[in-house]
Amino acid sequence: MSARVLVGVKRVIDYAVKIRVKPDHTGVVTDGVKHSMNPFCEIAVEEAVRLKEKKLVKEIVAVSCGPQQVQETIRTALAMGADRGIHVEVSGKDYETLGPLQVSKIMAALAKKEEADLIILGKQAIDDDCNQTGQMTAALLDWPQGTFASELTLEGGKLKVVREIDGGLETIMINMPAVVTADLRLNTPRYATLPNIMKAKKKKIANVKPADLGVDVSSRLEVLNVEEPAQRLAGVKVETVDDLVGKLKEAGRI
Amino acid sequence: MLKAVNKTYLRQLSGLIQRFQSTLVVAEHNNDTLTPITLNAITAANKLGSDVSCLVAGTNCAKVAEQLSKVQGVKKILIAQHAAYKGSMPEELTPLILATQKQFGFTHICAGASAFGKNLLPRVAAKLDVAPISDIIEIKSADTFVRTIYAGNALSTVKCNESVKIFTVRGTSFEPAAVDGGSASSEEVSSSAAAGVSEWLEQTLTKSDRPDLASAKVVVSGGRGLKSGDNFKLLYDLADQLNAAVGASRAAVDAGYVPNDMQVGQTGKIVAPELYIAVGISGAIQHLAGMKDSKTIVAINKDPEAPIFQVADFGLVADLFKVVPELTEALKK
């Protein structure tokens, strides 16, 4: 099969970082904070690379929207095995308000331009926790969607997707072209090896602007305020099981 | 004087606007019973001070429509029964919701932030060219919502200037609507032909006699400290004494101790029970995201430095293999 896969990758604050809210309540502190590829995007890249290794796809294009720094994230995807990258340059105020609606319009426009057969995204970004972009991209293209995928199989022009749902798992069959979003259990992403990181430096990253794709990035959502959630009061350590049972009875929990 | 007139006028005007607001709640169900999170979504919808309608789409809607007709705060039930709605595929439900929206012109469309709601609503939103809002925990006004970002470590207040507000509701942040005393009317709705681009094949549900994790009053969760799937039996025994649901950390799921639908956290289920007992769970940011709104948190861990103790109301630094059976015995008395 000669499919082309588009993989969306987002640069986010590293998952292990304890975030801090800005004193002016406009957002969280991002300057000087460790960033890396969104964990769900890593899984999406890994899945695309595995499909290529099975010779089910011929080309993987990694896409990221944002300022100059997202090129590092694209490089990481290239080092994992993506063939080329597209950096959709969005910066300043537009980047601050860039949300799933705008990104999905960009992804949909690129999918048409690049004649993609499959788009793989992570199920959610760990910063905005929206869980929207994949579904919205599928809608804009009128393609079927296989969200929260934990297993993906190509079967004669169709995709069999095992999805993680609330009560367990479900299996669906969707026509190609399609959009799939990766859940944690889809695979274990590989580490990029040094030779591959070196090779990735030679791979091409094209630079485009949303306007080149005919996408308006203005947003009708306004963040009024960002604040810290209420802190829990410090608790107490108990010495024995009996103490614990006593405390829980006292608190009326058992 | 003029000021007073203006104020009255404004109040009347806002009353008028409120009366013209109408919300569609997309009901989640399994063709037999309504999924409880729909009741939480109905409560959220009622906070908008508007007429609330519920859409029931499925292959067999009669029973669910019957249940919904008695739910307090629901004015109208829209019923769409068709073989194409098997498995609630979003490719089939989206055109139906768009047709319904065209007919009734809702100002708000919402659903519970479950796997069903998260899968469906963004697709609807994109078709209407509006930015949706995920997993809201509070409604400040008809256009202003609060949601968490960064795994629950920040609260973001968002004003939505879209013509239609589309959002999913965090079930644990709103009380369930009462399931009796309501008297909704019902009406059939239909959409165009089946899209036919996707097909539901099968489901493998984890069977359990225990209460549903997302709505249980008590949750007992295990992590990597359990060391094996067999050892989870210790937690099942404890849960049985408390009529609790059993959850897990990602580590326990990844290690294969338990199925992934038991995962509590940023990427799993969000729970807020009265009592949450974390056993052998260190308390990573991603896990805390799913349980730190629990009323009382108990941590049992042998590592006194484990971050879980920073959020626990009662902490017991001990070997879980010793104290969990003791706790189970103590509760039998």
Query: In Å, how far from its chain's centre is CA A253?
Result: 39
Query: How many Å lie between the alpha carbon of B303 and the closest alpha carbon of chain A?
Result: 12
Residues ≥6 apart with Cβ < 8 Å to B75 = B51, B52, B53, B184, B185
- Selected residues 208-267 of chain B with any CB under 8 Å from a CB in chain A: 214, 218, 242, 250, 253-254, 259-261, 266-267
What is the rounded end-to-end Cα distance, in angstroms, of chain B? Answer: 71
Searching chain A, which residue's CA lies closest to the CA of residue B143?
A221
How would you write the pLDDT of chain B (333 residues) with one tens digit per residue?
455 555 555 555 554 554 578 999 999 999 899 999 999 999 999 999 889 999 999 999 999 999 999 999 999 999 999 999 999 999 999 999 999 999 999 999 999 999 999 999 999 999 999 999 999 999 999 999 999 999 999 999 999 999 999 999 999 999 999 999 999 999 999 877 789 999 999 999 998 899 999 999 999 999 999 999 999 999 999 999 999 999 999 999 999 999 999 999 999 999 999 999 999 999 999 999 999 999 999 999 999 999 999 999 999 999 999 999 999 999 998
Contact state of A165 with B148 under an 8 Å Cβ cutoff: no
**A175 close to B (CB below 8 A):** yes
Angstrom distance (rounded) from CA A182 to CA A122: 5
Residues ≥6 apart with Cβ < 8 Å to B48 = B21, B23, B108, B139, B142
Angstrom distance (rounded) from CA B51 to CA B263: 36
- Selected residues 162-181 of chain B with any CB under 8 Å from a CB in chain A: 162
Size of interface A-B (CB pairs under 8 A): 248
Contact state of B155 with A226 under an 8 Å Cβ cutoff: yes
Give the helix/strand (H/E) hosting B120.
helix B115-127
Of B126, B297, B327, the CB nearest to A140: B126
Candidates B198, B204, B321: best to mutate against A (most CBs of A within 10 A) is B198
Low-confidence ranges of chain A (pLDDT < 70): 1
Of B160, B206, B285, the CB nearest to A221: B160
Radius of gyration of chain A (CA): 21
How high is the pLDDT of residue B1? 45
Instruction: Report the predicted TM-score, pTM, of the whole model to 2 decimal places.
Output: 0.94
The first and second tokens of residue A243, run together, are 């103490």
Contact state of B150 with A13 under an 8 Å Cβ cutoff: yes
Q: Are strands B51-58 and B22-26 parallel, antiparallel or unpaired?
A: parallel
Angstrom distance (rounded) from CA A146 to CA B198: 9
Q: Which of A202, A200, A208 is nearest to A87 (CA)?
A: A208
Of B91, B153, B323, the CB nearest to A144: B91
Query: In Å, how far from its chain's centre is CA A216?
Result: 21
Contact state of B130 with A101 under an 8 Å Cβ cutoff: yes
Residues of A in contact with B292 (CB under 8 A): 232
Q: Can you tell me whether residue B53 is helix, strand or coil? A: strand
Question: Helix crossing, B115-127 with A100-113: angle to 10°?
Answer: 70
Residues of B in contact with A13 (CB under 8 A): 150
Residues of B in contact with A133 (CB under 8 A): 122
**B327, B238 in Cβ contact below 8 A?**
yes
Q: Can you tell me whether residue B319 is helix, strand or coil? A: coil
Contact state of A172 with B149 under an 8 Å Cβ cutoff: no
Residues ≥6 apart with Cβ < 8 Å to B219 = B213, B244, B245, B246, B247, B264, B271, B273, B275, B276, B277, B291, B294
- Selected residues 120-149 of chain B with any CB under 8 Å from a CB in chain A: 120-127, 129-135, 144, 147-149
Q: How far is CA A18 from CA A35, A123, A224, A252, B313, in A?
A: 12, 22, 22, 33, 21
The string of pLDDT tens digits covering residues A52-97 is: 999 999 999 999 999 999 999 999 999 999 999 999 999 999 999 9
The first and second tokens of residue B11, run together, are 């109040």
Of B122, B269, B295, the CB nearest to A132: B122
Residues of A in contact with B98 (CB under 8 A): none
Q: Can you tell me whether residue B219 is helix, strand or coil? A: strand
Give the helix/strand (H/E) hosting A73.
helix A70-80
With pLDDT > 70 as the criterion, what percentage of chain B qualifies? 94
Q: Are strands A221-227 and B154-160 parallel, antiparallel or unpaired?
A: antiparallel
The string of pLDDT tens digits covering residues B34-51 is: 999 999 999 999 999 889
Candidates B294, B314, B317: best to mutate against A (most CBs of A within 10 A) is B314
